[in-house]
Chains A and B, each alone.
Chain A
């Protein structure tokens, strides 16, 4: 009698745990299918970009058949772009501008973050707040007064203007990330180094930079993203072909008049999107960790 009730109870428990597991399985499959739907939606434009870049002009202008799939794939668009001197010029300009912007922004941000997070002085709190408040004045608010200022400096239509201006977009956020990382380094570490007679510069270069390397990678990726992808400043301040960078070059040079060489434009976009995609593929985890360092604390 008692054995049967125990059996029944066990059976009931088993069936209940089974239904729970089944419920869990269903939730999991639901999540996977919803995520698949989102991925398809999110990847539609890049997919179409890639497909169009592989089409011939004839296929695009024929306007027949399924536009989502390329009928006679060709790499001609890419070959034409890579061998075109003006496109090489844009790519090269973007590359050196981005490199310089990353180096300048990171140097400024690391020095300032070290000073603000460890060497506090009168007014350091005000500067930290000021760094944040620079978000109040986005590029779209500044480009008109800057247009005048850049004119005085004789830098209109000169790629170097971007080396001057892009750090203003990257530095505040990079400093913010670095302050967070430096702040998480235990104070005992640098106190010990200080007692051993290390100078502040030694502490920065031999302790802080190696320890905060993940943060430095995160901030570097951010600076790279800004330098490579920003659109408004180059559009407002650069005009001539040989001074343009990739983003503006594609928009303004390849779209001439009413003729849209869509195959070529999309191929150029694929080439322009490739460096950021490569970087994120390998270093995404660092970037996300840096971005969300503050979020997880709150």
Chain B
């Protein structure tokens, strides 16, 4: 994609005449000056509103509550010793990993179903399935809340109507944990469906035909043709989604606000409670910084995948 100057317009061919080299070099220099100027706003955003706040956040996390004294890693060690924070760590990992797995499996199934019906109504089906992903998450989470409302929830009415017991969806730890994962899966599965559908469509039909001639059944085609062809996109989508899901805020904030008894807090919502609501900014910064090494690990793997893919294309 963005290579070095070797492939840029107007350069690349060695020129024999020395005088022309000089003017070309001047042209080249002018080109790179223009190029840098065009990139400046982007660089400003990355440095000013991404990199600098991150570094400043790291500094903040090492201050005491009143931000008057440098206390090193005390905030981090304090948090690691707290029962609540251990629960946050556990819940964040459980939430991200299981939600991403559910989304990937559901997206894979949906993509196959969509691929099976290839027809003129494909757009309509796809549009209907995309609705969860299109509605702003904070608004659709409100409707989930109302669906699960403890006093007069539509789900509980249906359960009673079918002759089952009422369930306290948001009042018990494991129910609430399951519900936030469910809502995240509902929201994110359409994205996986789109990505996997595109990957499915890019598998050449000849491969399937060749597999059929060799006597492969549907299951064997899936294992030996589809999955290897989709491996890259499956990995990249899942890793990307892991980052986004780890950093999720809206669902838990609106649906449970961390409750019952802090069992559903994620890094983001706990950092908000500690940092903004209780006003302990350094400790809140420390909470959210715990995400950084985890996300860095994921990003390392994505980047490796992207680079490998770019090499394959070139």
Contacts and interface: CB of A to CB of B under 8 A. Distances in A.
Contacts of B237: 295
Given A48-B154, A147-B276, A147-B281, A38 B129 contact: yes
B49 interface: yes
B230 to A, nearest CB: 9
Interface stretch (B7-15, B97-105, B164-172): B7-15
Contact of B54 (A127, A145, A269): A145
A171 B281 contact: no
Given A144-B288, A273-B136, A288-B194, A31 B116 contact: yes
B199 A277 contact: no
A298 B237 CA distance: 12
Interface stretch (B18-26, B81-89, B292-300): B292-300
A85 interface: no
Contacts of A137: 50-51, 53-54, 292, 295
Given A191-B9, A250-B139, A132 B39 contact: no
B45 A108 contact: yes
A34 interface: yes
Nearest to B199: A295
Nearest to A278: B134
Contacts of B130: 280, 284
Contacts of B302: 132
Nearest to A124: B2
B284 interface: yes
A117 interface: yes
Nearest to A288: B194
Nearest to A236: B276
B291 interface: yes
Given A66-B157, A171-B45, A231-B250, A144 B113 contact: no
A127 to B, nearest CB: 6
B306 interface: yes
A223 to B, nearest CB: 13
Contacts of A168: 45, 49-50
Interface residues of B, number: 110
Interface stretch (A8-16, A74-82, A179-187, A210-218): A179-187
A199 to B, nearest CB: 9
B299 A121 contact: no
Interface string B180-198: 0000001001100011011
Nearest to B266: A140
B221 interface: no
A142 to B, nearest CB: 5
B39 A277 contact: no
Interface in B23-39: 31-32, 34-36, 38-39
B13 to A, nearest CB: 11
Nearest to B127: A284
B4 interface: yes
Interface string A221-248: 0000100110110011000000000011
B154 A67 contact: yes
Contacts of B32: 119, 121-122
B34 A200 contact: yes
Given A45-B140, A45-B143, A138-B244, A111 B38 contact: yes
Contacts of B254: 251
Contact of A142 (B34, B54, B158, B313): B54
A24 B111 CA distance: 18
Contacts of B154: 48, 67-68
B186 A32 contact: no
Interface of A: 27-28, 31-32, 34-35, 38-39, 41-46, 48-49, 52, 60, 63, 66-68, 107-109, 111-112, 114-122, 124-125, 127-149, 164-165, 167-168, 171, 175, 179-180, 183, 187, 190-191, 194, 200, 225, 228-229, 231-232, 235-236, 247-248, 250-251, 262, 265-266, 269, 272-273, 276-277, 280-281, 284-285, 288, 291-292, 295-298
Given A44-B147, A180-B1, 4 more contacts: A232-B272, A266-B143, A277-B134, A288-B194
Interface of B: 1-10, 31-32, 34-36, 38-39, 41-43, 45-46, 49-51, 53-54, 56-57, 60, 109-110, 113-114, 116-117, 123, 125-132, 134-140, 142-144, 146-147, 149, 151-154, 157-158, 186, 189-190, 194-195, 197-199, 201-202, 232-233, 236-237, 240, 243-244, 246-250, 253-254, 267-268, 271-272, 275-276, 281, 284-285, 288-289, 291-292, 295-296, 299, 302-303, 306, 309, 312-313
12 contacts: A45-B186, A49-B142, A111-B41, A121-B32, A121-B35, A140-B288, A266-B142, A266-B143, A272-B139, A295-B199, A296-B202, A298-B313
